[in-house]
Amino acid sequence: MKFVDEFRDPERARRLVAAIEGLVADIPTCRERPLSIMEVCGGHTHAIFKFGIEGMLPEEIELVHGPGCPVCVLPMGRVDDCVALAETPGVIFTTFGDAMRVPGSRKSLLQAKAEGADVRMVYSPLDALAIARRHPDREVVFFGLGFETTMPATALTILQAEREGIRNFSVFCNHITIIPTIKAILDSPDMQLDGFLGPGHVSAVIGTRPYRFIPEVYGRPVVIAGFEPLDILHALWRVLVQIREGRPRVENQYHRVVREEGNRAALAAIERVFELREFFEWRGLGSIDHSGVRIRDAYARFDAERRFSIPALKIADPRSCQCGEVLKGVLKPWQCKVFGTACTPETPLGALMVSSEGACAAWYQYGDLDRVMEARA
């Protein structure tokens, strides 16, 4: 079939890999230190592991898996807040499935549900709004989570609730924003990155212009990439071309979805409903200025933080977990002390092992587990 064969075409992949090898040979510095290229999107992390892309690449290229999984970067205290909300009498707590099994300091949302809290998995915030319509006598709280890909969905749902005059719907807003996050990564002293694969679907919303500071201020290439193996290889190849030429810039490999100006309607909805928080706390990365958004005063009645009392306690991660180092790419997932032993997808200690977009879960599912376990035994 047209396009399918092309996307899968091993011959094309081989040719791309050969082209990448050729470029690497032309970049002498990478023999002293491998080129570190970070993907900041959890969808890319998942695809890279699933298709075994690291295994195809020459050893001079190291892929660093960034903090692109929104569930994985939730601090434990935030999960406790969700559990507290879910256990509030009269509340129906709605969440994307990914967040259900993330451990809090006492329990996960799944455990809270098992103990009787009314926690419901939803596919879309619109489904949470529909639950609010069906249960006017209950308070329906939606756990708003994710980067700019899911932010417009939450914003538009709040605007819909306002239009309909729905009074029993609110959002526990934990949306995060990509640009300050990338900036924090670039400013982090233990990071030595040579380039970025830009997130495909975040960019469908924000467009390509917000990334310009990366080449202009930090001198690093960015190529916005799609999610198929050939997309990723193609984007890597373009990053390497930029490195070889010494001419960093923003390029868009994912033309079929990403436009330079982004999605105007989505951006307008975000702007109308949300404003930047002064700072936001991340698991493993600490507090990052302006990296989260909250609901504007005009929509205060849809803000769960104002409608309910939320504990908002800071809880340190379990000491055995090294999620922070893995999130920053300082450690590979399998180098964490508890990877695959105390922490597995069935009994996760850290959030990176929960979501399929988390580097640890992806590595556990698709990596060479036997070899790691053998080496440790």
Partner 1 sequence: MCLGIPGRVVAITDAERRLGLVEIAGTRREVSLACVVEPDRAPETCVGAWVLVHVGFALARIGEEEARATLAVLEELGEVQEELAAMRASGS
Cα–Cα separations (whole angstroms), residue 108 to 101, 224, 326, 335, 350:
6, 35, 22, 25, 12
d(CA 70, CA 358): 9
Please, are residues 67 and 324 in contact by the beta-carbon 8 Å criterion?
Answer: no
Residue type at 198 in one-letter notation: G
Please, are residues 176 and 182 in contact by the beta-carbon 8 Å criterion?
Answer: no
Cα–Cα separations (whole angstroms), residue 8 to 14, 55, 229, 244, 340:
11, 17, 8, 28, 31
Please, are residues 321 and 338 in contact by the beta-carbon 8 Å criterion?
Answer: yes
* 177 touches partner 1 (CB under 8 A): no
| 61-65 β-sheet, strand order | 61-65, 35-39, 195-198, 222-224, 250-252
Stretch 217-276 residues interacting with partner 1 (CB under 8 A): 226-228, 256-259, 263-266, 269
Smallest separation (angstroms) from partner 1 to the CB of 159: 9
Smallest separation (angstroms) from partner 1 to the CB of 369: 19
* 377 touches partner 1 (CB under 8 A): no
Judged by CB, which is closer to partner 1: 61, or 293? Answer: 293
Of the residues 1, 55, 246, 374, which one makes contact with partner 1 according to CB under 8 A: 1
Smallest separation (angstroms) from partner 1 to the CB of 329: 19
Structure tokens at 330: 């300082």
Of the residues 357, 361, 362, 372, which one makes contact with partner 1 according to CB under 8 A: 357
Judged by CB, which is closer to partner 1: 50, or 306? Answer: 50
> Sign of dihedral through CA atoms 257, 258, 261, 266?
positive
* 201 touches partner 1 (CB under 8 A): yes
- x-marked contacts with partner 1 along 113-152 as a string, rule CB under 8 A: -------xxxxxxxxx-xx-------------xxx-xx-x
SS3 212: helix
* 367 touches partner 1 (CB under 8 A): no
Smallest separation (angstroms) from partner 1 to the CB of 47: 9
Smallest separation (angstroms) from partner 1 to the CB of 121: 6
- End-to-end alpha carbon distance in the chain: 47
Smallest separation (angstroms) from partner 1 to the CB of 163: 8
Q: Which residues pair with 95 in a beta bridge?
A: 121
* 3 touches partner 1 (CB under 8 A): yes
Stretch 290-349 residues interacting with partner 1 (CB under 8 A): none
Of the residues 30, 61, 355, 363, which one makes contact with partner 1 according to CB under 8 A: 355
Structure tokens at 372: 């790691």
# of chain residues touching partner 1 (CB under 8 A): 59
The footprint of partner 1 (CB under 8 A) covers 1-4, 6-8, 41-43, 46, 50, 68-71, 94, 96-98, 120-128, 130-131, 145-147, 149-150, 152-153, 156, 160, 200-201, 204-205, 226-228, 256-259, 263-266, 269, 355-357
